[in-house]
Amino acid sequence: MRIPQCNPRLAYLGLRKEIDAAIARVLDKGVYILGGEAYFFEQEFAAYVGAAHGVGTGSGTEALHLALKACGIGHGHEVITVSHTAVATVAAIDLAGALPVLVDINPETFTIDAKQVEAAITPETKAVIPVHLYGRPVDMAEIIAVAEKHGIPVIEDCAQSHGAVYGGRKTGAWGTIAAFSFYPTKNLGAFGDGGMVVTSDKALADRCRSLREYGWGERYVSVEPGWNTRLDELQAAILRVKLPHLDKANMRRREIARRYDHGLKKSPATITPVIAVDRTHVYHQYVVRHADRDRLREFLAEKDIGTLIHYPVPVHLQPAYAGRVKVPFPLKNTEKIASEILSLPMFPELSASEADEVIAAIAKFKD
């Protein structure tokens, strides 16, 4: 594609010398698992988020899985989240042995409907996972009020919201514990897999540290059954180079979003995302809605413009999860928008003229 939907290689080229040096530093030092880089990056990233502790993991899915296990969640428990999310959110609940309970979204914000969360709570409910989808912070005050009323932890899925701010605090600093992904195309991406749990609860952080290494207390002695999920030392070194550039990259994403918002006014059949005036949207994705989405997508592809669909099939309708999730209410909004959503090209290195080309191409689409 001439204009790809995303292009993580450009982030490498922009910082090539520093990243190459960081990789060489790790290889030369000779400590390849949980050496200094992972340790320092955990502290630097937790400080960036505004939480006391960070525990690196092998991926974002594993960060969610680890957070759930550290909160004591397993068989016989229910965890409430959305069906309109990356399958990873639901996979992590299933992996922990609990039952995912999937509720609907607000079609304007694409994020969890707090009223349905409250209505879905049962005596078995042990956590709620709000997902800051596309980089737009969820109304955390509402979710925390419901969770506190019922005495359950809030596990934030921040895989798409690095740096997003709600109510003066970053996403990841609101919940009991939060999970981040450093998948290459995320707002803060490694050049491989990686993830992190952040929390200000020391006991929870300690349990995460133990569980991610076989449940060790002292080395080689497991105090509870754990497994292995650690942030790779090379990826940690790369992420330490990239973290100081995250705010600038998010600012650039917001500039592109403003350009799309303005330019797409000429194409009223293309519904642009609601602007979040009271919070900082970091536009992991810029998602529009269009009644004739599939034809629009083909039309753009013919013009060599890449788009993606996040996500084409809601999790409750995916073959693997039939019978493995509970859907207490009809997911009307989730099912409706799945056929309308389209993620336009969005990455910090996308130029203004490329964004204008996308806008001009959409204006030419006849519906």
Ligand X SMILES: *Cc1c(COP(=O)(O)O)cnc(C)c1O
Residues binding ligand X (CB under 6 A): 59-61, 85-86, 88-89, 131, 157, 159-160, 181, 183, 193, 195
Q: Least distance (Å) from ligand X to the CB of residue 159?
A: 3
Q: Least distance (Å) from ligand X to the CB of residue 341?
A: 14
Copy the structure tokens of residue 349.
């290195």
- d(CA 234, CA 190) in angstroms, rounded, equals 9
Which residue's structure tokens are 């502790």? 53
Return the number of the residue (160 or 280) whose C-beta is nearest ligand X: 160
Residues 6+ apart with CB under 8 A from 215: 222, 223, 224, 225, 226
Which residue's structure tokens are 């996979």? 91
Q: Least distance (Å) from ligand X to the CB of residue 186?
A: 6
Residues 6+ apart with CB under 8 A from 329: 103, 104, 116, 119, 120
* Residue 52, SS3 per DSSP: coil
Q: Least distance (Å) from ligand X to the CB of residue 248?
A: 22
Count, in order, helices (H) and strands (E) of the chain. 13, 12
Q: Least distance (Å) from ligand X to the CB of residue 263?
A: 26
Q: Least distance (Å) from ligand X to the CB of residue 181?
A: 3
- Residues facing 196 on adjacent strands: 56, 180
Q: Least distance (Å) from ligand X to the CB of residue 269?
A: 28
Return the number of the residue (118 or 156) whose C-beta is nearest ligand X: 156
Return the number of the residue (83 or 89) whose C-beta is nearest ligand X: 89
- d(CA 251, CA 118) in angstroms, rounded, equals 35
Q: C-alpha angle with apex 325: 335 to 193, nearest 5 degrees?
A: 85
Return the number of the residue (19 or 158) whose C-beta is nearest ligand X: 158
Between the alpha carbon of residue 279 and those of residues 129, 136, 139, 163, 274, the distances in Å are 19, 8, 9, 11, 12
Return the number of the residue (56 or 195) whose C-beta is nearest ligand X: 195
Which residue of the chain is nearest ligand X when measured via CB?
Answer: 60
Return the number of the residue (6 or 296) whose C-beta is nearest ligand X: 6
Q: C-alpha angle with apex 281: 343 to 157, nearest 5 degrees?
A: 80
Return the number of the residue (230 or 362) whose C-beta is nearest ligand X: 230
- d(CA 39, CA 37) in angstroms, rounded, equals 5
CB 257 within 8 A of CB 281: yes
CB 26 within 8 A of CB 32: yes
Q: Least distance (Å) from ligand X to the CB of residue 98?
A: 16
Return the number of the residue (100 or 195) whose C-beta is nearest ligand X: 195
- d(CA 186, CA 134) in angstroms, rounded, equals 10
Q: Least distance (Å) from ligand X to the CB of residue 184?
A: 9
Return the number of the residue (19 or 82) whose C-beta is nearest ligand X: 82
